[in-house]
Amino acid sequence: MVLRSASQRKLSQAFLFALFLILTVMAVDPARSDWKKEWERTLAAAEKEGQVTIYGQARKEVADAIQEFRKAYPRIKLNFVGGQGSDLGHRVMAEKRAGKHLVDVAVGGGATMIQVYHKADLLEPISTAFILPEVTDQSFWWGKKHHYSDPANRYVFMMQGDVSSGIGAYNIHFVQPGEIQSWWDLLNPKWKGKMVMTDPKSAGNIQSWVYLYHSPELGPKYLRRLIGEMDLTFSANEQQMVDWLAQGKFYIHLLSKDDNIDKARRQGLPVMSFDSQKEAGRVSSGSGHLSFFKNAPYPNAARVYINWILSREGQMAWQKYGLTNSFRIDIPKDMLQAGQVLKEGRQYFMSSRYVVDLKPLRQLINEILAETKR
């Protein structure tokens, strides 16, 4: 009897301890302790709302990935409004001034979300929409954390990040493999007048210059030498620059887009992307930003969409259509180029975190161009 009583006491103590832990967890975060009920309530309310409105970039791969939501949740109508980031920004601000709340979620480039929506206080902290454990659990994401491009790390979520070759591309007849391994190698006088680069006066291209300006290994000092000494040619036409590179008119195309260079290579043209650089690699989130609007007309449907697009299923669709690297690390990457995928333990420059204020960069470039009378 004594042994039995002791055993019973131990079981009773264990039960009470387990009960204490459960109650403690529920007291700390009662909403998360029963996510299934929260999800069921949200999904039921979303289906009652019957629709969700998403504003996103007018690119086929973006639209195709977004439309996959319809297969997962056929009872929720998806209204997709496509356009350029700046155009959508003007549209949203006009709607808000008229007292109209028509958009639930934005998907696309980070600049408009930060400089327009966030600046105007139109966004909810997006984590308030997270419900599914596979979305709230940050261990599923690269670096074991969620990534944001806004200064507060709360409003503009980064779903994707592609590693760029950084420097750009070269004509294999005029530049030897390994000859240029750093941005500083480009200051060799032999490359003077032989380089073409994205035009910094173009609104769309200035974003690609952010890396050069903010990198602690380069910065304003480097830009003054590159622009001031190397007789660069600028163009806002990406295809024209690739053609010039292939023809040998220029030996190096700085800040080229890897997918355009890959396409040219497949066509048999003598071009190649630089595959490494001594400086930290640049990671761009491109069209992979996500934000959640205040006063959303269909808030529950918006939450369902946000949880879906950030889920494993949603990110597999996003990565599949865009051929861009999702920050989720629990999905296969075999459809991507090896150089696109971030490696654990490596240091990277997250360029999307530096789009808040481009004025200092613009001023510096204008000063240098004025000094060189260009």
Within 13 Å, how many C-alpha atoms sit on residue 326's CB side? 26
Q: How far apart are CA 285 and CA 268, in angstroms?
A: 29
pLDDT of residue 231: 96
Look at residue 132 and tell me whether its pLDDT is greater than 80: yes
pLDDT classification of 28: cutoffs 50, 70, 90: very low
Q: Pick the residue with more confidence: 139 or 355?
A: 139
Mean pLDDT of all residues in the chain? 88
Share of the chain above pLDDT 90, in %: 63
Mean pLDDT for the stretch of residues 159-174? 89
pLDDT classification of 21: cutoffs 50, 70, 90: very low
pLDDT classification of 40: cutoffs 50, 70, 90: very high
pLDDT of residue 166: 74
Most confident stretch, 11-15, 155-159, 161-165: 155-159
pLDDT of residue 1: 40
HEC states along the chain? CHHHHHHHHHHHHHHHHHHHHHHHHHHHCHHHHCHHHHHHHHHHHHHHHCEEEEEEECCHHHHHHHHCHHHHCCCCEEEEEEECHHHHHHHHHHHHHCCCCCCCEEEECHHHHHHHHHCCCCEECHHHHCCCHHHHCHHHEHHHCCCECCCCCCCCEECECEEECCCEEEECCCCCCCCCCCHHHHHCHHHCCCEEEECCCCCCCHHHHHHHHHCCCCHHHHHHHHHHHCCCEEECCHHHHHHHHHHCCCCEEECCCHHHHHHHHHCCCCEEECCCCCCCEEEECCCCEEEEECCCCCHHHHHHHHHHHHCHHHHHHHHHHHCCCECECCCCCCCCCHHHCCCCCCCEEEHHHHCCCCHHHHHHHHHHHHHCCC
Cβ pair 110, 89 in contact under 8 A? no
Look at residue 101 and tell me whether its pLDDT is greater than 60: yes
pLDDT of residue 2: 41
* Domains annotated on the chain, with CATH: 34-161+285-342 (3.40.190.10), 164-281+357-371 (3.40.190.10)
pLDDT classification of 216: cutoffs 50, 70, 90: confident
Q: How far apart are CA 324 and CA 316, in angstroms?
A: 10
* 299-315 tens-digit pLDDT: 999 999 999 999 999 99
Mean pLDDT for the stretch of residues 255-280? 88
Q: How far apart are CA 335 and CA 166, in angstroms?
A: 21
pLDDT of residue 343: 83
Q: Pick the residue with more confidence: 86 or 33?
A: 86
Look at residue 296 and tell me whether its pLDDT is greater than 80: yes
pLDDT classification of 359: cutoffs 50, 70, 90: confident
pLDDT classification of 138: cutoffs 50, 70, 90: very high
Look at residue 26 and tell me whether its pLDDT is greater than 60: no
Cβ pair 129, 45 in contact under 8 A? no
